[in-house]
Structures are given as C-alpha cells and as structure tokens.
C-alpha cells in the first residue's frame, strides 16, 4: 500500500474494531501484507492493538510481529503476555526468533524461552543466543536441508521431501555430512535431480566448499557471500561440524545494519542502541547514544577556545587576520571528514588494505596538497583584495594549504590506526577529526600571525 493510504487504513481498522464486525476485521487484516499491516497496528491504541492482533492467523501474526520495531515488540509482549507471544514465535524461523528474544531484558528473555512450545526450536534458540550477536553463529539459521554422503539419490529425494515439509525452509543448497555431522560436500537440487537414483550422493557432491566459522564476524560472512556470488553459505565450528547457514536475505540485513552503524558512528552517534530506538524510542536512549561524543567534542572545542584566548593580544592587534579562522577551520575539517569517509569505506570493502597503507597515505596526501594549493591560491587573492595586504594573503594561503594537508593526513591515518588495533574504523568520526584539527590549526595559524604581526596589520 502507498504511504499516503495508511491513515485511511488505520481509520478503517479502528471503525471495524469499534463496530464489532470481527469476521470482516479478520478477513481485512489477514489480506494485507505484513509489511503494510505492522505500521497500522503500531499506530493503534493499546486495546485496539490487541483486538486487531488476536484475529490474525498464527503464521501471519508471526510475520507481522517480525516487522515490528524492537520497542513495539516489547510493548506487544507486555500486552499479550509471554505464552501468547511464545506461540507466535514458534512460527518464526529460528534466526528471527533469536533476534527477537535477544533484544529483550534478561528476565523476560528467560521467561519467554521457558514457554516456547517447540522443544527443538527452544534448543536451537538457546544455542544461537550463546554466540556473539554479530557473529556468524548469532545470525545463522538452523533451518536447512542436509543429506548423508552414503545415501542413495533415491533415499536423498525422500529425505529432502521430509525435511522441506518439516522446516518450511527455502532450498538453496543441499549440504552433505558424514556420520559425525562433519561437512564433506554440497550438492545443488538440479544435480541431485539429474543423478541416477541408485547412485550415491557422494559421487555427485562438490567437495570444494566455501564456508565461514561460527566465530566469524557477520561482516566477514557478508563479504564472503558477496565475493563468491553465493545464495547461502554453510557455517561450521572448529571441528568442521555443520551448525547452520546464512542466506542472501540475511546479508541484505547485515549490510543495511553495518551501513547504518557506519553512518551513525561517522556522526559521533553510539551504535549501542537499535536504530529504531534512536528515531522513535525513548528520549533517554537517544540522549545516551548522542551525548558522549558531543561531550568529548565539547572538551576539545573548549581547549581550542582556550588556545584562542591565550593569543588575545594578537587578536586585538590583527582582527582582519583573525576573520579567516572560520575559513581555515571549515575547509580543513571538511576535507578531513571527506578523507576519513573514503578511507573508512575502503577499509570496510577491502579496497584499502593495512599492508599497503603507506601507499594510500601518500596518495591521499598528494590529493590533499593539490586541493590545498588550489583553495589557498583563491583564498590568498581574496585576503589580499579585501585588506590590500599582500603579506596577509600569503600567510592565510600558506596556513590554509598546511591545514588542509593536515586534515587529509589525519583523516587517512586515524581510521587506518583504528583498523590496525582491531577497532571499528568508523569511530574516526568527522566531529572528532574536526575538533583535533581546530586545536592544531588555531595554534599554528595564531603563532604565525604573532610572528609576522608587523607585516599583516
């Protein structure tokens, strides 16, 4: 449904609830796509949320529940109760159920796990919860089809039919294991169909398997699937036992999440809270996410202010030179932020490698120096024309070229150092780079103005 139609849909749902026409409400809601229905329910009053959600078919309710943001899921848990939500979760894929449960407070998490009606799902969810949330083990699905290497193709067909009905899973690849559940091969459904019925699966499987380990970071998994153009990838443990799979739709979610985190961190926003909580969640969560880096920036800018104050005599003697300080701050901070964004992106995609970091530093310095020369030349002419002081134009131009080159250097080295120490390079946020540059630039520029005061007044 188009976004502009949603208010009408909300009004219609509200009218159906108030009229008591349960059958019509049931048919209407179950005919909507979960992606369209979720925001409608989110905008209803609490009692209307319950009334509309309870008429959904169980499978549809699970899909709608998956579309809710984390805050809404917590609200529905309180409104419906743990046992009702457990019934809904039982219809979800194990990885989706795990994502939902892991975001809950510890007390509610334990309570919900205990009342899950399917013991097999309960065991799988409990296993996935024990892995780090952003690891391959934390995002993998345990709903996948596997075969034994010593099976005949005929027996394998029967096994595929039974597992497909049991797991309700999409068939991406068929994974082949030995008697100890160790991954030994993979076979496509097409190859299985084309194989003679009395032949062994082992004779038709591919033993060159691309895998990830349960401890690998989710970003590594996404890169591997993207690099080799896979639809799904098997996840194994240190003993080569098959534990689960990560599929292409998971990769889309991972990339979206990682991109969001990089954007937030690049702006000095903590990634400790889900993105939906920052937009529509508690004010306290948004404040906690945004305030820390702002306080660090505040301290840095206070230092810069103290440096400016220490040159009070220079400022009084050469006010026209001081008028160019915002220009130096703005251009150097901007080019530093640009460079940091390019380098962070390169580190994430693998285009920038630590072993070749010197090459990239030199490359960016050439770019920064060239841009600095161009901007310095233009700024120098402006300063000369405005104040009819050639020496002032020269000083401003020289300072700008140096500050912009420093901005590029800082924007390049800072993310590379963070990557070297195995920290997220996106932490090299523009506000921090700008603050450091302000301290360096103001000290450098005001020192030059002080030394050349008699020429620039």
CA distances from 306 to 87, 431, 433, 439, 444 (A): 62, 19, 18, 10, 14
**For the residues 28-47, what does the mean pLDDT come to?**
89
Q: What is the CATH number of the domain that holds 380?
A: 1.10.357.20
Residues 201 and 327 in one domain: no
pLDDT-derived band at 309, boundaries 50, 70, 90: very high
Q: Which residue has the higher pLDDT, 457 or 237?
A: 237
Residues 153 and 297 in one domain: no
Model pLDDT, residue 277: 64
**3-state secondary structure (DSSP) of residue 234:** strand
pLDDT(201) > 60:
yes
**For the residues 264-284, what does the mean pLDDT come to?**
69
Domain membership of residue 104 (yes or no) is yes
Residues 225 and 324 in one domain: no
Say how far residue 109 (Cα) sits from the centre of its chain: 24
pLDDT digits (tens, 9 = 90+) for 202-214: 999 999 999 999 9
Q: Which residues touch 69 (CB under 8 Å, ≥6 apart)?
A: 42, 274, 276, 277, 280, 281
Tokens of 396: 């401003």
Residues 444 and 340 in one domain: yes
Cα Rg of the chain (Å, integer): 30
Mean pLDDT across the chain: 86
Domain membership of residue 386 (yes or no) is yes
The C-alpha atoms of residue 136 and residue 132 are separated, in whole angstroms, by: 8
Count helices and strands in the chain by DSSP H and E runs: 24, 6
Among 93-107, 129-143, 313-327, whose mean pLDDT is lowest?
Answer: 93-107
Domain membership of residue 343 (yes or no) is yes
Residues 44 and 172 in one domain: no
Domain membership of residue 265 (yes or no) is no
**For the residues 31-60, what does the mean pLDDT come to?**
89
Residues 243 and 344 in one domain: no
pLDDT(276) > 80:
no
Q: Which residues touch 16 (CB under 8 Å, ≥6 apart)?
A: 24, 25, 28
The C-alpha atoms of residue 88 and residue 419 are separated, in whole angstroms, by: 42
Kindly report the number of other CB atoms within 10 A of residue 452's CB atom: 16
pLDDT-derived band at 305, boundaries 50, 70, 90: very high
Q: What is the CATH number of the domain that holds 47?
A: 1.25.60.10
Give the H/E segment covering residue 196: none
DSSP label at 210?
Answer: -
Residue-number span of the structural domain to which 191 is assigned: 146-252
Model pLDDT, residue 272: 64
Cut 0.75: pTM above it? no
Counting every residue written for the chain, the total comes to 457
What's the domain count of the chain?
3
Model pLDDT, residue 156: 93
Smallest Cα–Cα separation from 450: which of 312, 306, 303? 312
Contact 408, 364 (CB under 8 A): yes
pLDDT digits (tens, 9 = 90+) for 57-107: 988 998 898 888 878 888 888 888 888 888 888 888 888 888 888 877 778
Residues 161 and 232 in one domain: yes
Smallest Cα–Cα separation from 97: which of 136, 142, 46, 55? 142
pLDDT(6) > 70:
no
pLDDT digits (tens, 9 = 90+) for 341-357: 899 888 877 788 888 88
Tokens of 67: 């579309």
Residues 172 and 200 in one domain: yes
Residues 127 and 224 in one domain: no
Model pLDDT, residue 362: 93
Domain membership of residue 411 (yes or no) is yes
pLDDT-derived band at 3, boundaries 50, 70, 90: very low
Contact 236, 183 (CB under 8 A): yes
Q: What is the CATH number of the domain that holds 226?
A: 3.10.580.10
Tokens of 217: 């970071």
């Amino acid at each position: 449904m188009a976004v502009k139609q949603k208010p009408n849909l909300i009004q219609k749902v509200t009218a159906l609830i108030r009229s008591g026409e349960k059958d019509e409400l049931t048919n209407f809601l179950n005919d909507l796509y979960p992606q369209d229905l979720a925001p409608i329910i989110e905008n209803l009053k609490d009692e209307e949320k319950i009334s509309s959600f309870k008429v959904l078919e169980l499978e549809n309710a699970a899909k709608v529940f998956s579309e809710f943001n984390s805050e809404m899921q917590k609200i529905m848990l309180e409104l419906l109760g743990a046992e009702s939500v457990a019934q809904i979760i039982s219809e979800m894929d194990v990885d989706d159920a795990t994502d939902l449960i892991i975001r809950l407070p510890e007390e509610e998490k334990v309570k919900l796990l205990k009342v899950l009606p399917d013991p097999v799902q309960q065991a799988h969810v409990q296993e996935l919860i024990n892995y780090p949330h952003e690891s391959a083990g934390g995002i993998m699905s345990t709903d996948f089809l596997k075969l034994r290497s010593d099976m005949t193709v005929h027996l394998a067909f029967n096994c595929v039919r039974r597992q497909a009905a049991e797991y309700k899973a999409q068939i991406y690849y068929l994974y082949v294991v030995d008697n100890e559940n160790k991954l030994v091969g993979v076979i496509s459904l097409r190859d299985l169909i084309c194989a003679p019925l009395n032949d062994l699966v082992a004779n038709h499987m591919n033993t060159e398997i691309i895998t990830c380990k349960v401890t690998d970071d989710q970003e590594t998994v996404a890169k591997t699937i993207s690099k080799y153009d896979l639809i799904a990838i098997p996840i194994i443990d240190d003993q080569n036992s098959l534990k689960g799979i990560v599929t292409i739709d998971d990769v889309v979610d991972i990339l979206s999440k990682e991109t969001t985190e990089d954007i937030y961190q690049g702006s000095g926003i903590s990634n400790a809270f889900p993105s939906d909580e920052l937009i529509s969640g508690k004010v306290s969560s948004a404040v906690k996410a945004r305030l820390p880096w702002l306080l660090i920036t505040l301290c840095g800018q206070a230092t810069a202010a103290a440096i400016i104050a220490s040159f009070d005599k220079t400022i009084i003697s050469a006010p026209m030179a001081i008028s160019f300080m915002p220009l130096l701050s703005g251009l150097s901070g901007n080019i530093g932020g640009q460079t940091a964004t390019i380098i962070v992106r390169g580190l994430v995609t693998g285009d920038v490698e630590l072993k070749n970091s010197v090459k990239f530093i030199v490359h960016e310095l050439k770019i920064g120096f060239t841009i600095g020369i161009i901007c310095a030349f233009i700024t120098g002419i402006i300063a000369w024309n405005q104040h009819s002081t050639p020496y002032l134009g020269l000083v401003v131009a020289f300072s700008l070229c140096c500050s912009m080159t420093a901005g590029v250097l800082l924007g390049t080295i800072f993310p590379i150092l963070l990557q070297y120490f195995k920290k997220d390079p996106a932490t090299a946020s523009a506000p921090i780079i700008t603050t450091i540059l302000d301290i360096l630039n103001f000290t450098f520029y005001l020192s030059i103005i002080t030394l050349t005061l008699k020429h620039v007044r």
